[in-house]
């Protein structure tokens, strides 16, 4: 315990001391020789309540006090337990009254009168009847339990601690007078006083530290004890033993756990507040304007009422401005109760910027049902979105809630143009109902729907080959423009399911799920694109709804990384706003210099992203997936694949003749091979889908509509939609249309080539790749190299290492790849990227590659190459920048390729000079042809 000896004033009477209000009072009592090893009980504190009711004084808790219980009386008044370290302050009326006392016109009054007494633990004190340890036989308390009439009976000991204060003393340095009266044993007693306190007898300051550590950081009893024992470092065993006996600053594990369990029960039963969190909100977040809504629980409210629980909505002015600029048409909302150990629901609201980056709107916390904070959260955001003036400086202000149990923030100018967007939600009916009337509409997240569908297909034991075609069928229904169209697509989908090689039970499960969870009255309009259909009104790039709420999941991942595990709701807010509360006190103000200063929390990270991405013309600021589509479109345009049609705004984009039947996974970017027979059956839905849009498709071409952003024959469009970004074919068609408008194809082609080459150069700089022709050649030479690489490996050359930084397991594929292990000493070791399914294929391939290596091992210096092997042993040569230099004859199996670095016992396969380049390629082709012939041999 901190020393307060310098604050104790010994009075002239020799029997009393004067101390200031606060911790010094308890310090003196705990250190007094007569009070060291005993437990004190207390009766009611007198005088103070009357003066509080008269408005003369107020009672204030000492800084860091949490060990008390609050309750509400039947008359609605809030009361709490008294503490010896409470502080009395004068009101304005009290100040005037003290002046009258000093002038002699008013009589001084007691404002504090409190008697504490020894509990008589250990049966070693003298009772009031004179008996020591027990009552005299003729005492009226002799036959009572514990010799007490009631819990406030002072019969078991004569020792008293009397404390008092008067109004005239409050302005002095020592406001509280403490006097010890009586004794445990008479002065002439021949026996020694040996109390045995078995209950938790910690000081209030020690209890505060324990409760703060438990509530704020969720520490265990052992963690708490370690923190308490910090002040006892260097103490001997005897000293520690004595401290445990005194039971004032530390206690044994059993008592400590009992105290923690009792406090947990208080918080859980809402008999006490989230004290630490409440002080953090009041003292730090509210003055900074981060709190939009706060409501403390009202225990008199019904069990199903949100008013019975804590409701907290926090945000930032920059987030609210982003909501005005980017979220006026659509925002995402999603809940998660895994972000804190209390399992309090954390509701995340997110919008997407013009360039496709995420930015939060706010976070809502509640310890009630997860649907409770939804309406409060969205309403609080609406009431604080600034007006459309970019320089809006309209002030905000706080006002108390009608039930006086909290407050909310309001910005008046938010009423001028109410914020009323579409809300993207998961398929959870209570959330949908909670949003009725406060948003324009609700739509469902495709990310959530596809995850649920994948889980069901796996549970129903549907073949992996069929999972993606079935999911594409669901996507086609969702891409419908009207509810009538979606109903027609659902009918065709059932015909498609019936044609698949599935059991009768599996078919019924899939079709029943479609009717129950998709094409039902509750969700039909939220799944189809009818509520997000293109029109002239929302053709502006600012008016685009998202088709997934995966952005909320990305923010959740970011929060989890920063949290370093699940902590309390307070820890969540501390990491979010970058300011920690001192753990030895509960107030964010009065923090000493250099202690717990502001840190750059998640708020700084989220705020920096929109500021970094304000320039709409800067491609470098766009997300990797959008940049990839844009540059693929440039490549298609430069390759002459775009042709004009007779339809306005529509253009043909030619397919590659050897283009495989694949789909790029939106989860991890890997190519998915689609079964040809199954896709032919799905084409019935595809053709009807195209016909309903009035588009005539030419064989071997995609049809791109640059006005609506649709590319109906493109699997990427069917899967991803058009709202986050248009597909690569639409980008190509837009460039062709721009060239037509300019009337100058040559200049636009040259400009597009420059941008494409810059894209590859920039990517190589960031990802440590090197390709001499792209890096140092002319623009035309670099473009020819890009085209040659494309012919080898397709659009995978446009993939960036940053493209799938948040890659997760593809729930529709769920394939387990086998790790190769070398079983012979002479077999070269493969890198971690190598994945080949058959050991005999591995041995045959390795022998031939080593033979090719031996032809080159005496050449000179620069390493440029490695090999690739696909599932069918088709060999490819890859430079160290991962650019493929010589191709396999089979392009249909490119999605099986895995990069392999082959090493012999001495060195790696190298190509050492430009003169040896052609020789190496020729030798490689010889190896490839030899391998092919050996496979064809009987």
SS (H, E, C) 53-65: HCCCEEEECCCCC
Phi, psi of 474 (to 5 degrees): -60, -40
In a domain, 263, yes or no: yes
Q: Label residue 637 by pLDDT band (50, 70, 90).
A: very high
Mean pLDDT of 722-734: 82
Between 390 and 53, where is the model more confident? 53
Mean pLDDT of 467-476: 91
What's the pLDDT score for residue 216?
63
What's the pLDDT score for residue 176?
95
What's the pLDDT score for residue 118?
93
What's the pLDDT score for residue 814?
53
On the 0-12 / 13-18 / 19+ scale of CB atoms within 10 A, 501 is exposed
- Tell which of 772, 798, 824 closes a domain: 798
pLDDT at 238 over 80: no
Q: Label residue 880 by pLDDT band (50, 70, 90).
A: very low
Strands of the sheet containing 701-705, edge to edge, are 642-644, 650-654, 701-705, 710-711
Between 714 and 400, where is the model more confident? 400
Q: Label residue 333 by pLDDT band (50, 70, 90).
A: confident
Mean pLDDT of 122-140: 91
In a domain, 577, yes or no: no
What's the pLDDT score for residue 353?
78
What's the pLDDT score for residue 45?
92
What's the pLDDT score for residue 714?
84
Indicate whether 399 and 310 sit together in one domain. Answer: yes
What's the pLDDT score for residue 826?
41
Give dist(CA 775, CA 757) in Å, integer: 9
Task: Please give the structure tokens belonging to residue 392.
Answer: 């809006």
Specify the range with the lowest mean pLDDT, choosing from 119-128, 560-569, 694-703.
560-569
Give dist(CA 243, CA 231) in Å, integer: 12
Number of Cβ within a 10 Å radius of residue 644: 12
Most confident of 82-86, 216-220, 253-257, 258-262: 82-86
Instruction: Give me the residues paired with residue 359 across strands.
Output: 351
Indicate whether 212 and 177 sit together in one domain. Answer: no
Mean pLDDT of 63-76: 76
pLDDT at 743 over 80: yes
Specify the range with the lowest mean pLDDT, choosing from 104-108, 227-231, 367-371, 784-788.
227-231
Three-class secondary structure assignment of 290-333: CEEEEECCCCCCCCCCHHHCCEEEECCHHHHHHHHHHCCCEEEE
Specify the range with the lowest mean pLDDT, choosing from 121-130, 164-173, 604-613.
604-613
Mean pLDDT of 613-631: 69
In a domain, 519, yes or no: no
Share of the chain above pLDDT 90, in %: 25
Q: Label residue 765 by pLDDT band (50, 70, 90).
A: low
Residue 403 and residue 307 in contact, taking contact as beta carbons nearer than 8 Å: yes
- How do residues 887-925 score in pLDDT, each as one tens digit? 333 333 333 333 333 333 333 333 334 444 455 555 555
Give dist(CA 635, CA 731) in Å, integer: 10
CA angle 284/285/287 to nearest 5° reads 75
For residue 338, give its domain range: 290-444
- How do residues 662-674 score in pLDDT, each as one tens digit? 777 777 777 788 8
Specify the range with the lowest mean pLDDT, choosing from 121-125, 253-257, 401-405, 421-425.
253-257
Phi, psi of 330 (to 5 degrees): -155, 140
Give dist(CA 547, CA 419) in Å, integer: 20
Indicate whether 248 and 391 sit together in one domain. Answer: no
Q: Label residue 50 by pLDDT band (50, 70, 90).
A: very high
pLDDT at 218 over 90: no
Phi, psi of 319 (to 5 degrees): -65, -40
Indicate whether 14 and 72 sit together in one domain. Answer: yes
Task: Cite the beta strand spans of 403-529 per DSSP E.
Answer: 406-411, 422-425, 441-444
In a domain, 57, yes or no: yes
What's the pLDDT score for residue 405?
85
- How do residues 479-519 score in pLDDT, each as one tens digit? 887 888 888 999 999 999 999 999 999 999 999 999 888 88
Mean pLDDT across the chain, nearest whole number? 75
Give dist(CA 486, CA 474) in Å, integer: 10
pLDDT at 257 over 80: no
Q: Label residue 739 by pLDDT band (50, 70, 90).
A: very high
- How do residues 283-312 score in pLDDT, each as one tens digit? 888 998 999 999 887 767 777 777 778 889
Three-class secondary structure assignment of 748-762: HHHHHHHHHHHHHHH
Q: Which helix (H) or strand (E) is 717 found in, with range?
A: helix 715-720
In 3D space, the residue among 622, 596, 606 whose CA is nearest the CA of residue 562 turns out to be 606
Give dist(CA 556, CA 562) in Å, integer: 10
Indicate whether 665 and 758 sit together in one domain. Answer: yes
Indicate whether 266 and 294 sit together in one domain. Answer: no
Between 58 and 335, where is the model more confident? 58
Rounded to the nearest angstrom, the gap between the alpha carbon of residue 474 and the centroid of all alpha carbons in its chain is: 30
- Tell which of 782, 798, 814 closes a domain: 798
Residue 869 and residue 900 in contact, taking contact as beta carbons nearer than 8 Å: yes
Give dist(CA 911, CA 885) in Å, integer: 12
In a domain, 43, yes or no: yes
What's the pLDDT score for residue 265?
64
Instruction: Give the β-pairing of 176-181 and 16-19.
Output: antiparallel
Q: Helix, strand, coil proportions of the chain in percent (round to 5)?
A: 40, 15, 45
| Full-model pTM | 0.60
- Tell which of 776, 798, 820 closes a domain: 798
What's the pLDDT score for residue 1?
57
Segments in 64-137 forming alpha helices (H): 92-103
Instruction: Give me the residues paired with residue 90 across strands.
Output: 57
Q: Label residue 639 by pLDDT band (50, 70, 90).
A: very high
Indicate whether 300 and 414 sit together in one domain. Answer: yes
Most confident of 73-87, 385-399, 597-611, 731-745: 731-745
Strands of the sheet containing 16-19, edge to edge, are 9-10, 16-19, 176-181, 160-166, 110-118, 40-42
Mean pLDDT of 408-422: 86
Indicate whether 309 and 250 sit together in one domain. Answer: no
Give dist(CA 923, CA 938) in Å, integer: 25
Indicate whether 336 and 219 sit together in one domain. Answer: no
Name the region of 636 (left: φ>0; alpha: ψ -120 to 50; beta: rest): alpha
Listed in sequence order, the residues at least 6 apart from 715 whose beta carbon sits closer than 8 Å to its beta carbon are 472, 663, 674
Residue 523 and residue 427 in contact, taking contact as beta carbons nearer than 8 Å: yes
What's the pLDDT score for residue 425?
86
Mean pLDDT of 188-217: 77
Number of domains in the chain: 4
Task: Please give the structure tokens belonging to residue 641.
Answer: 């694949």
In a domain, 44, yes or no: yes
Task: Cite the beta strand spans of 447-551 per DSSP E.
Answer: none
In a domain, 932, yes or no: no
In a domain, 312, yes or no: yes
Indicate whether 657 and 787 sit together in one domain. Answer: yes
What's the pLDDT score for residue 929?
57
Between 176 and 77, where is the model more confident? 176
Give dist(CA 158, CA 145) in Å, integer: 19
Give dist(CA 707, CA 534) in Å, integer: 9
Indicate whether 420 and 303 sit together in one domain. Answer: yes
Task: Please give the structure tokens belonging to residue 809.
Answer: 């397991």
- How do residues 686-725 score in pLDDT, each as one tens digit? 888 888 777 777 888 888 888 878 887 888 888 877 656 7
Indicate whether 68 and 209 sit together in one domain. Answer: no
pLDDT at 879 over 50: no
């Amino acid at each position: 315990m901190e020393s307060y000896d310098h604050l104790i004033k010994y009075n002239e009477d020799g029997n009393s001391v004067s101390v200031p209000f606060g911790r010094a009072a308890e310090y003196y009592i705990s250190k007094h020789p007569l009070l060291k090893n005993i437990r004190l009980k207390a009766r009611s504190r007198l005088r103070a309540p009357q003066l509080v009711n008269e408005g003369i004084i107020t009672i204030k808790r000492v800084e860091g006090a949490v060990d008390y219980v609050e309750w509400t009386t039947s008359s609605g008044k809030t009361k709490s337990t008294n503490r010896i370290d409470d502080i009395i302050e004068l009101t304005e009326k009290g100040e005037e009254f003290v002046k009258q006392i000093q002038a002699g016109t008013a009589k001084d009054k007691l404002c504090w009168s409190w008697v504490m007494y020894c509990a008589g633990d250990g049966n070693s004190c003298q009772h009031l009847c004179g008996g020591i340890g027990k009552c005299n036989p003729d005492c009226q308390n002799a036959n009572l339990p514990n010799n007490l009439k009631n819990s406030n009976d002072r019969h078991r000991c004569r020792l008293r601690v009397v404390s008092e204060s008067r109004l005239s003393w409050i302005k002095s340095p020592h406001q509280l007078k403490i006097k010890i009266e009586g004794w445990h044993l008479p002065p002439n007693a021949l026996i020694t006083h040996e109390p045995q306190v078995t209950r938790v007898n910690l000081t209030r300051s020690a209890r505060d530290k324990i409760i703060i550590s438990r509530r704020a950081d969720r520490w265990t009893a052992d963690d708490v004890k370690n923190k308490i024992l910090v002040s006892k470092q260097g103490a001997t065993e005897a000293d520690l033993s004595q401290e445990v006996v005194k039971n004032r600053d530390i206690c044994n594990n059993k008592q400590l756990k009992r105290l923690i369990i009792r406090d947990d029960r208080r918080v859980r039963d809402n008999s006490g507040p989230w004290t630490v969190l409440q002080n953090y909100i009041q003292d730090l977040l509210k003055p900074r304007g981060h709190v939009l809504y706060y409501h403390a629980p009202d225990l008199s409210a019904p069990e199903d009422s949100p008013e019975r629980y804590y409701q907290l909505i926090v945000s930032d002015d920059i987030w609210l401005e982003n909501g005005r600029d980017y979220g006026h048409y659509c925002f995402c909302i999603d809940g998660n109760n895994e972000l804190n150990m209390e399992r309090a629901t954390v509701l995340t609201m997110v919008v997407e910027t013009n360039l496709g980056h995420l930015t939060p709107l706010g976070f809502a916390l509640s310890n009630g049902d997860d649907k409770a904070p939804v309406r409060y959260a969205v309403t609080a955001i609406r009431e604080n979105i600034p007006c459309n003036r970019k320089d809006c400086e309209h002030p905000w202000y706080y006002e108390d809630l009608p039930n006086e149990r909290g407050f909310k923030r309001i910005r008046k100018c938010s009423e001028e143009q109410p914020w009323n967007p579409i809300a993207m939600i998961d398929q959870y009916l209570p959330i949908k109902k909670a949003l009725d009337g406060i948003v324009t509409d609700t739509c469902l997240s495709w990310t959530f729907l596809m995850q649920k569908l994948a889980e069901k297909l796996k549970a129903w034991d549907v073949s992996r080959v069929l999972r993606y075609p079935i999911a594409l069928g669901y996507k086609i229904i969702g891409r419908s423009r009207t509810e009538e169209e979606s109903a027609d697509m659902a009918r065709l989908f059932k015909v498609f399911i019936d044609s698949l090689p599935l059991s009768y039970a599996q078919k019924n499960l899939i079709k029943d799920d479609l009717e129950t969870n998709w094409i039902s009255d509750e969700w039909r309009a939220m799944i189809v694109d009818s509520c997000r259909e293109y029109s002239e009104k929302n053709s502006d790039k600012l008016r685009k709804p998202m088709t997934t709420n995966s952005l909320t999941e990305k923010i959740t991942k970011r929060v989890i990384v920063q949290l370093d595990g699940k902590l309390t709701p307070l820890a969540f807010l501390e990491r979010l706003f970058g300011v920690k509360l001192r753990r030895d006190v509960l107030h964010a103000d009065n923090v000493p210099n250099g202690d717990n200063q502001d840190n750059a929390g998640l708020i700084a990270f989220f705020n920096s992203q929109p500021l970094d991405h304000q320039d709409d013309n800067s491609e470098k600021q766009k997300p990797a997936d959008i940049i990839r589509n844009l540059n693929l479109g440039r490549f298609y345009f430069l390759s002459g694949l775009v042709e004009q049609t007779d339809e306005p705004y529509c253009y043909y984009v030619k397919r590659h003749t050897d283009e495989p039947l694949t789909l790029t996974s939106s989860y991890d970017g890997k190519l998915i091979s689609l079964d040809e027979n199954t896709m032919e059956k799905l084409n019935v839905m595809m053709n009807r889908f195209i016909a309903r849009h009035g588009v005539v498709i030419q064989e071997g071409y995609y049809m791109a509509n640059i006005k609506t952003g649709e590319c109906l024959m493109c699997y990427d469009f069917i899967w991803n939609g058009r709202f986050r970004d248009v597909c690569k074919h639409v980008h190509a068609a837009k460039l062709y249309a721009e060239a037509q408008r300019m009337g100058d194809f040559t200049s636009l082609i040259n400009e597009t080539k420059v941008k494409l080459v810059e894209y590859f150069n920039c990517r190589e700089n960031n990802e440590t790749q090197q390709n001499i022709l792209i890096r140092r050649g002319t623009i035309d030479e670099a473009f020819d190299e890009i085209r040659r690489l494309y012919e080898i490996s397709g659009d995978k050359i446009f993939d960036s290492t940053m493209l799938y930084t948040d890659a997760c397991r593809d729930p529709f594929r769920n394939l387990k790849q086998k790790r190769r292990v070398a079983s012979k000493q002479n077999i070269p070791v493969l890198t971690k990227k190598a994945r080949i399914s058959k050991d005999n294929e591995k041995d045959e391939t390795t022998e031939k590659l080593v033979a090719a290596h031996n032809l080159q091992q005496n050449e000179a210096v620069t390493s440029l190459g490695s090999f690739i092997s696909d599932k069918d042993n088709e060999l490819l040569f890859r430079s160290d920048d991962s650019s493929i230099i010589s191709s396999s004859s089979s392009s249909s199996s490119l999605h099986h390729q895995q990069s392999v670095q082959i090493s012999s016992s001495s060195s790696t396969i190298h190509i050492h000079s430009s003169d040896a380049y052609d020789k190496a390629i020729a030798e490689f082709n010889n190896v490839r042809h030899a391998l092919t012939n050996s496979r064809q041999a009987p």
